[in-house]
Chain A
């Protein structure tokens, strides 16, 4: 070990206790920075809340780096800088979510009333106040339900194929790849496809059903992916235990694998519904709007009119308001947006609850 013996340590050994900022230092720094920024905003031409935030955060990052560098050294100050940046990144994402929610509630809550929820726009002057979204809620619920009735069984079956039968075969790999690719199909392209296929080629009229078909295309890959994940979680031992009892494969899947994964699959389907319930673009092309309550999703343009839906209703009211955010139509658009967000929020909340309840038991 001659080499080791003559060599000197590469870095001088320092004590274990490095210089460390006291715990009150950073809160004090925050206070100082806010005070400086507030002073500047009060005495100079700087203005605006957003500008204040940006200025204060930047100033804080600089101040923290300088203080930490002089007291703790380069590595600690870089570490602190990135720690703060991570927090800032998270706040940057939380900010729009909070602001969008707050603004939608603020703008939408004014028109919310039982009248708004339970009446349609039939015989209402679109430029004046009044009217409601009952017809749009009905349409959204029915169209989403139809899409789910199509996407859930097909999606679950396809997931069963991928997990239980596919086994890495080329065809299964192709299906799996295209499920991923299908997730990225823009909703307006799905709408155009159903338009070209269902309406132009097959000659059907625009209807709630046509919209549901496009929603089905958007929902299918979501359901397949989430169901696939859940089926993969079912332990192999369960299947083998069932096979060992002489139960055929299809009965094993139906009576052992599916029930085990059911809660997860239901959660996935509901999250899929939440994702499509707010889709607008395909419905604009395929359904259109209507001022009246229409329960029949098969009802086309001429007998008498297709269904409304919340997203198309919002778009329609936005158009009527022609950019005037004070117009009654704009208020109705916000009201409908609030209701739509609540419906979607409830759906995802229930989905998470289902997932959680079952996780505790299993």
Chain B
């Protein structure tokens, strides 16, 4: 029964019903054909748009890439409109991946904790409200996160940054070298903001996965005398591993493309640096948001080329996440 039944009895034609052929012929009546085509077209628009994004970005990026005299993949500066034109995504790629991966590392344990809290710890009646509450974090616009990160969070990170510098400064990541008091317009602050922004997506997907854990598995663990945490470790976490993995990857994808929160928080600098608590850094998205206004013809093409890279990266990330979860679903 993979076919949708076209009519009540038409799926099982029998000899004593001579009209069977007439009945099945009804599925190609004009109204059906028009409506079906309309629906099909709407579905096709998704594919067309995705293809068009790739085509137009490539089409506009190529001329600028031809003019570029620097190595596009490794060069760290962005001077597309100079003569000769030099630009590269070295710094963009580095800081985009750095901030996003850090954000995911910060967000993942918290998000899984929230998901477990809502599905297995909070009172049943409150769980839906609590889930809605966490989802509200996703409703806050990116630019408001940016404002808040700049005006509220960054100034309050100083103590933490100094603490990490003092006790963990031997790790280059946390080493703060300048002598002034940090004002934290840094990749680290950006990562924290991104972590907050991707919390809801990771936790809501994990929540769905945890909710689907078969009741028999949960009861099997409890009946063996497992405590609540032991039940989660034996029955829930193994079942949810694929789902949580893909949730984390999707969260990473969100962080990679996030624009304004990062733009407002980072004080832009194009040098690759391991010291994440020091000011500086620039991402694909923040570079586009900052440079589009002053870009000339080559500059625009260069920004589109960087946007193409971002598109390809997020595409790969999202494909991976979807494959992981689809494989789990079919298994």
Q: Measuring CB to CB, which residues of chain A are less than 8 angstroms from any residue of chain B? A: 47-48, 50-51, 75-76, 78-79, 81-83, 85-90, 92-94, 96-97, 99-100, 103-104, 107, 153-158, 160-162, 164-168, 171-172, 174-175, 177-190, 192-193, 195-197, 200-201, 217, 220-221, 224, 239-240, 243-244, 246, 248-251, 253-254, 274-275, 277-281, 284-285, 311, 314-315, 318, 323, 325, 330, 333-334, 337, 340-341, 344-345, 348, 352
Contact = CB atoms under 8 A, between A and B. Distances in A.
B110 A178 contact: no
A182 B50 contact: yes
B141 A86 contact: no
Interface of B: 2-9, 26-27, 29, 31-32, 34-36, 38-47, 49-50, 52-53, 56-57, 59-60, 109-114, 116-118, 121-122, 130, 132-134, 136-148, 150-152, 156, 159-160, 163, 196, 199, 203, 227-230, 232, 250, 253-254, 256-260, 264, 284-285, 288-289, 292, 300, 303-304, 307, 310-311, 314-315, 317-319, 321-322, 326
A48 B159 CA distance: 8
Given A92-B110, A97-B133, A104-B148, A166 B257 contact: no
Contacts of A177: 322, 326
A79 B227 contact: yes
A167 B2 CA distance: 7
B311 A186 contact: yes
Contact of B43 (A92, A175, A250, A318): A175
B255 to A, nearest CB: 10
B198 to A, nearest CB: 11
Given A184-B253, A196-B56, A285 B292 contact: yes
Given A154-B42, A178-B50, A325-B150, 9 more contacts: A48-B159, A89-B111, A165-B4, A179-B46, A186-B258, A200-B300, A243-B6, A284-B289, A344-B140
A156 B6 CA distance: 21
Given A48-B159, A175-B43, A188 B310 contact: yes
B141 A180 contact: no
Contacts of A251: 31
Interface centre among B41, B43, B122, B146 (most CB of A within 10 A): B43
Residues of B contacting A: mostly: helix
Nearest to A51: B159
Contact of B259 (A76, A89, A188, A243): A188
Given A192-B288, A243-B6, A250 B36 contact: yes
Nearest to A168: B2
B310 A189 contact: yes
B59 A196 contact: yes
B59 to A, nearest CB: 7
A318 to B, nearest CB: 6
Given A168-B2, A186-B311, A249-B27, A93 B134 contact: yes
Contact of B42 (A158, A167, A195, A239): A158
Given A96-B137, A192-B288, A107 B314 contact: no
A275 B201 CA distance: 13
Contacts of A182: 46, 49-50
Given A78-B229, A318-B264, A325-B151, A178 B137 contact: no
A270 B318 CA distance: 25
For the complex of A and B, the 5 pairs showing the least CB-CB separation, nearest first, are A186-B257, A278-B141, A89-B113, A244-B8, A157-B42
A341 B141 contact: yes
Nearest to B149: A100
B114 to A, nearest CB: 5
Given A93-B199, A100-B140, A161 B57 contact: no
Given A161-B43, A162-B43, A196-B57, A248 B133 contact: no
Given A97-B133, A158-B45, A189-B307, A165 B230 contact: no
A325 B148 CA distance: 11
B288 A188 contact: yes
B236 to A, nearest CB: 12
Contact of B132 (A79, A220, A352): A352
